[in-house]
Amino acid sequence: MWEYKVSGYSVLSEWLAAREHWVVTIAQAQETLQTIASIGALVELSSSLDGLFDLVDQRMSDGEQ
């Protein structure tokens, strides 16, 4: 997950860097865990999503709508 990037943006490292000076509360710790879990879900889904994009691209190339 640490290497996960969107358009060259290192999501987790940048997200954490923006919160470098936090005095961490329970709510902020929960937000951090939720963010990490969300990135993990995106990483797990990425190959499935790539396959769907390929299918849509193929159908568009074939003239289907």
All residues at 6 or more sequence positions from 25 whose CB lies less than 8 Å from its CB, including other chains: none
Q: What is the pLDDT of residues 2-50, one digit of tens each?
A: 888 888 889 889 988 998 888 889 999 999 899 899 989 988 888 788 8
Residues 6+ apart with CB under 8 A from 43: 1, 4
Three-state secondary-structure class, residue 28: helix
Domain enclosing residue 13, as ranges = 5-61
Phi, psi of 6 (to 5 degrees): -125, 115
Number of domains in the chain: 1
Taking the C-alpha atoms of residue 50 and residue 42, their distance in angstroms, rounded to an integer, is: 11
Can you give the pLDDT at residue 22? Answer: 84
Q: Supply the pLDDT for residue 65.
A: 59
